[in-house]
A and B are shown apart, each in its own frame.
Chain A
């Protein structure tokens, strides 16, 4: 089914490119924040990619439910693609968070509740990739779907527990630094970047999913060919 989405892929890519260009230009010309200086600009990447890392998981959960319910192979392909894309976004989130944290907090890494949850999310993404590659294709779809749903249920508990844990040790001032209250001229580039990242995420999932679909078709063809040869040898 995804094979016929080539046109959509091209158009989505073009829109993403334009939006990203506009967003980055706006972000780079935005005035400096009076508290955070120019380092605030990294938030234009950090915040949208954090949202996308979560949004990818939401999408993955939806696909996984369809996989279990309808045994749909397209949903499984999309699920596999969204795992890679979600992992990429969480890496970007963590890296940009660290780059932002160095001038702001004086350290690359702080066990802030959001960063910790994001790190756990990344590990879950990596676990899902590992699970898929370690299982036979016939079993991988169902197992990764179940695992993704378990993760979806667990993530809010993880976030809640980590928040409770951090607020116990650090008074609110520190953990609140990750929160942003940007107003006026700083908000417009953020909105543009958020839309651009949503398009980027959708585009990446589509490209990856189509690649996976072709990969699976090739494997199926190779298998059929091998079995054909075997028949001939037997006959």
Chain B
């Protein structure tokens, strides 16, 4: 029990360190938010959707924005660990590798959720979509998708951390793997908003499967990745 508490506390401290560091430097969070807003503006300029079209396109646009915005955040997940060999320091602490992964994941998850919290209301306002009564359902679907997206994303960020042109590589690796997440997320959001057919259940189930697989697999794979 006390061992478990020590692990959870360690993971929490790693996440805390990342989030506090980000807020102090105003680095990732603000660039993610401004990136998301830019995507919305560019989308509006390119398509000029009517209100009807906007409702139909909203789920897809929401998930594309989330996906690309998370890439901005993931590119920086291990940046703080690079200066002064801090990742080595984490690996030298008496913690299982899975706990270290958990900490890094929680930090990124929190930042991504904060961005989403700003993004959704902004989209409804900018595209004149009246879905305020279903906002909680949209957030529910988003949360499910974000769990798996960030877990896989942080793992791939660790993998590409020392790679040349790592941000391109991260996108190349992440995008095909999250295809199921994108499909299920868009369909479930559409169903929740009433624009993509009636039933969100099978898609939510798919999201849960994806989350389950990566929450089990990512900490384990991280251990393999960092061991020398």
Residues in chain A within 8 A of chain B (CB atoms): 68, 120, 123-124, 126-127, 130-131, 134-136, 139, 142-143, 145-147, 149-151, 153-154, 157-158, 160-162, 164-165, 168
B224 touching A161 by the CB < 8 A rule? no
Instruction: Find chain B residues with CB under 8 A from A136 CB.
Output: 162
Least CB distance from A194 to B in Å reads 27
Instruction: Find chain A residues with CB under 8 A from B221 CB.
Output: 146, 149-150
A120 touching B162 by the CB < 8 A rule? no
Instruction: Find chain A residues with CB under 8 A from B176 CB.
Output: 120, 123-124, 127, 158
User: Could you list 5 examples of A-B contacts with CB < 8 Å?
Assistant: A131-B163, A143-B159, A146-B224, A146-B225, A150-B152
A164 touching B202 by the CB < 8 A rule? yes
Least CB distance from A86 to B in Å reads 14
A146 touching B175 by the CB < 8 A rule? no
Most chain A CB neighbours (cut-off 10 Å) among B160, B169, B176, B187 = B176
Instruction: Find chain B residues with CB under 8 A from A162 CB.
Output: 179-180, 183
Smallest Cβ-Cβ distance to A129: which chain B residue: B172
Instruction: Find chain B residues with CB under 8 A from A135 CB.
Output: 162-163
B162 touching A139 by the CB < 8 A rule? yes
- Complex CA gap A8/B206 in Å reads 46
Residues facing A in B73-87 (CB within 8 A) are none
Of B159, B164, B180, B202, which is within 8 A of A147 by CB? Answer: B159
Size class of B's contact patch? 20 to 34
- Complex CA gap A136/B217 in Å reads 25
Of B166, B173, B197, B202, which is within 8 A of A127 by CB? Answer: B173
A168 touching B187 by the CB < 8 A rule? yes
A165 touching B160 by the CB < 8 A rule? no
Q: Is B204 an interface residue (CB 8 A)?
A: no
B163 touching A124 by the CB < 8 A rule? no
Q: Is B184 an interface residue (CB 8 A)?
A: yes
Least CB distance from B78 to A in Å reads 13
A157 touching B213 by the CB < 8 A rule? yes
Smallest Cβ-Cβ distance to B159: which chain A residue: A143
Residues facing A in B21-56 (CB within 8 A) are none
How many A-B residue pairs have C-beta atoms within 8 angstroms? Tell me. 82
If A154-B177, A161-B180 are given as contacts, then 15 extra A-B residue pairs at C-beta distance below 8 Å, sorted by A number, are A123-B172, A124-B176, A127-B176, A134-B160, A134-B164, A139-B162, A142-B224, A146-B225, A147-B173, A150-B152, A150-B217, A150-B221, A157-B206, A161-B184, A162-B180
- Complex CA gap A151/B214 in Å reads 11
Of A130, A143, A164, which is within 8 A of B225 by CB? Answer: A143
Smallest Cβ-Cβ distance to A128: which chain B residue: B173
A158 touching B173 by the CB < 8 A rule? no
Of B163, B172, B183, B224, which is within 8 A of A165 by CB? Answer: B183
A134 touching B169 by the CB < 8 A rule? yes
- Complex CA gap A61/B28 in Å reads 35
- Complex CA gap A131/B162 in Å reads 10
B179 touching A120 by the CB < 8 A rule? yes
Instruction: Find chain B residues with CB under 8 A from A124 CB.
Output: 176-177
Instruction: Find chain A residues with CB under 8 A from B163 CB.
Output: 131, 134-135
Residues facing A in B142-198 (CB within 8 A) are 152, 155-156, 159-160, 162-166, 169, 172-173, 175-177, 179-180, 183-184, 187, 197
Instruction: Find chain B residues with CB under 8 A from A153 CB.
Output: 213, 217
A134 touching B180 by the CB < 8 A rule? no
Q: Is B209 an interface residue (CB 8 A)?
A: yes
- Complex CA gap A160/B213 in Å reads 14
Least CB distance from B219 to A in Å reads 12
Least CB distance from B122 to A in Å reads 28
Of B173, B197, B202, B209, which is within 8 A of A157 by CB? Answer: B209
Q: Is B63 an interface residue (CB 8 A)?
A: no
Instruction: Find chain B residues with CB under 8 A from A150 CB.
Output: 152, 155, 177, 217, 221
- Complex CA gap A131/B170 in Å reads 9
A134 touching B179 by the CB < 8 A rule? no
- Complex CA gap A3/B24 in Å reads 56
Q: Is B105 an interface residue (CB 8 A)?
A: no
